[in-house]
Amino acid sequence: MSNEMHRSHSSIPLPAICLIGSGMQIPEQLTLESLDALRQCHEIYSILSPAEQEHLPEEFSPRLKSLWPLYKPGAPRADVYASEVETILEAAARHAPVAYLTPGHPIVFDRVTQGIITAAPTRGLTYKIFPGISSLDTMLVDLQRDIAPGIQIYDATSMVVAHIEPRVDLDCLLFQIAVFGTTYVAAGYQTLPDAFALLQAHLLQFYPPEHEVIQVTSAFQGKPAAHLNHFALQHLSGPECRIQVPSGSLFIPRLRSLTPDPALLAQIRHPSSLENSYRR
């Protein structure tokens, strides 16, 4: 039965561009659907690091085109993303189908995917998004947290520059702390003690200095175990900065529980809330 399913899926025509998430562990978290699409693509463009690429199935090696060299230290990230998008669009116009293989989920904090989604239709190119396991999925497992009754997710830099005020009665997860406060490629640079000073100052408007936060870095290629770094908010920046390696995300537990409206809570607990709104 598995062979029949594989043949029937392979017969489905692919779009010009396949936007594929590799998951956080390769090849374990590559889905069967994604593997099937990768086998059919003429070229596979990827921002996986050279070390991560080594874990891909060998059959993909001849068609793998690394975009890693575009990430030159100090280069404007927007220019890098634009170059990646243009490279993939040009390849798709020449000999579709091609794939863009990106870590995690292709639509979770990925500017290249968004660039392709915007530009592909203007060039008559089709695309399809193939979901993968994102760092959000793995971090919730690492933290052993449910997202109920709600969770806030922000880009760390955007939170500060846009003056986003977090709700302190809901958990908060800040992505992209590895590039906080800069629009340039930070790879190859050492993080200085005051790198997160602006982020710390912003958060201290809403949380007390002693409030515990967690730097969570999920397991990924070459890192077999997740790392949870607990520390007080007052140690996010300065001489006692506890983020030695800027990776993963910053989890901020809620400061207090939600306060339900008593009248509305009584209303939805009354049997009439079911009888008046639902039918068997």
What are the two backbone dihedrals, phi and then psi, of residue 73, each rounded to the nearest 5 degrees? -50, 130
Q: Is the dihedral of CA 112, 115, 121, 122 positive or negative?
A: negative
Rounded to whole angstroms, how far apart are CA atoms 151 and 278?
28
Beta strands at 249-252 and 171-175: parallel, antiparallel or unpaired: antiparallel
170-223 pLDDT tens trace: 999 999 998 999 999 988 888 888 999 999 999 999 999 999 999 999 887 656
Using a 10 angstrom Cβ sphere, with 0-12 exposed, 13-18 middle and 19 or more buried, the burial of residue 145 is middle
Which residue ranges form the domains of the chain, and what is each CATH number? Answer: 2-133 (3.40.1010.10), 136-252 (3.30.950.10)
Q: Report the predicted TM-score, pTM, of the whole model to 2 decimal places.
A: 0.89
Rounded to whole angstroms, how far apart are CA atoms 198 and 200?
5
63-79 pLDDT tens trace: 999 999 999 999 999 99
Contact between 25 and 219 under an 8 Å Cβ cutoff? The reply is yes
How do the pLDDT tens digits run along the chain, 280 residues long?
344 334 444 557 899 999 999 999 888 999 999 999 999 999 999 998 888 888 899 999 999 999 999 999 999 999 999 999 999 999 999 999 999 999 999 999 999 999 999 999 999 999 999 999 999 999 999 999 999 999 999 999 999 999 999 999 999 999 999 899 999 998 888 888 899 999 999 999 999 999 999 999 988 765 668 889 999 999 999 888 888 777 889 999 999 999 999 999 999 999 999 999 998 8
